[in-house]
Amino acid sequence: MKKLINSVETVLTESLQGFAAAHADIVALDGECRFIRRARPAPGKVALISGGGSGHEPLHAGFVGRGMLDAACPGQIFTSPTPDQMAAAEAAVDGGAGLLLIVKNYEGDVMNFEMAAEMIGGPVMTVLTDDDVAVEASSYSTGRRGVAGTLLVEKIVGAAAEEGRDLAALKALGDRVNRRTRSMGVALTSCTVPAAGRPTFAIGADEIEMGVGIHGEPGRRRVALAPADAIVAELVDAILRDLGDVAGQDVLLFVNGFGGTPAAELYLVYHAAARLLAQHGIRIARSLVGSYVTSLDMAGCSITVSRLDDELVRLWDAPVHTAALRWGA
């Protein structure tokens, strides 16, 4: 294993300290390294909090800031943060209008966020993201996994929270975005968790994992490496079959890298996916390409398609200022 680390025990703390120092105008790190919060709190609005295991950067800490999250709780690599961490974050950013938790559908995350909500009390609601079409509810203990579509929920709901919408309205909006969003990924290589010191799974030099999870979980099937067009066609077909009839509608197309894939390849994937959507009569109204929901050093990518309407386009376009996403005034 070759990693730019000092020790397995300190990698997360040192990374968080570096992140907070590099973006001190946007975020602040809790003194006990339990959470990242906005450097300038936003009282009076519903506070948005997310989190999960580290190793997916910039998700979630990279999306803390104006127009998105108020706080993010990073657990150890691929391990849910503890309820104590989450409760501390909730107490730190509660501006009096309630708390909305945005939680990826993984058993540890769901359980610990529920426990944290009970600990702090007060008005708290949860949006559960489960956009991964690679697995059905019957084949995964808690149902579908929450993956790259989580970013879309955090951005759109974050914009609405900035406008002052109440807790119930934000919960309804987050659920709506999640229902309109589907994702699927492919891995060319495994990731390597520092504490393990070896690849999470073995894969041949000429093999790929279709439908891989963001922690290296198995996908739909192991197949031989094929040209990018064929790989993208399988991902897009699975997404569209699950999303339903979207011909003639506007969508957001998000091509996400898993951490070990060059931008040139991600844009090639976008090009292939855009052609396929056009063949189905689907209009791409908004796009995002880059490594935003990663899996450490895994080579591969995911494709996300989300059905848009005028309100969702406006909220997507609303100003955002975080370490990882910045646009608008």
Tokens standing for residue 176: 């709506």
Q: What is the pTM of this model?
A: 0.96
pLDDT confidence band for 175 (50 / 70 / 90): very high
- The ranges assigned to domains in the chain are 11-180+318-327, 182-312
Token pair of 310, please?
């005028």
The tens digit of pLDDT for each residue in 92-130 reads 999 999 999 999 999 999 999 999 988 887 899 999 999
The stretch 270-294 carries a mean pLDDT of 98
Residues 52-77 have a mean pLDDT of 97
Domain 11-180+318-327 superfamily per CATH? Dihydroxyacetone kinase; domain 1 (3.40.50.10440)
Query: Which range is least confidently modeled, 84-93, 122-131, 138-147?
Result: 138-147
Tokens of 70: 């108020």
Annotated active-site residue 23? The verdict is: no
Band (pLDDT 50/70/90 cuts) for residue 138 is: very low
Active-site residue, selected from the candidate residues 23, 56, 271, 321:
56
| Strand pairing report for 283-290 and 300-307 | unpaired
| Confidence band, pLDDT 50/70/90 cuts, at residue 139 | very low
DSSP string, 188-249: SS--B-TTT-SBSS---TTEEEET--TTS---SEEEE---HHHHHHHHHHHHHHHH---TT-
pLDDT of residue 140: 46
The pLDDT tens digits for 209-249 are 999 999 988 888 899 999 999 999 999 999 999 998 899 99
pLDDT of residue 329: 67
* Residue 141 binned pLDDT confidence (cut-offs 50, 70, 90): low
CB count in 10 Å sphere of residue 287: 13
Q: Is 321 one of the annotated active-site residues of the chain?
A: no
CA distance 104 to 106: 6
Tell me phi and psi for residue 300, to 5 degrees: 150, -170
Q: Of 60, 215, 271, 280, which is the active-site residue?
A: 215
Residue 201 neighbours by CB under 8 Å, 6+ apart? 190, 209, 216, 218
CATH code 3.40.50.450 for 182-312 = no
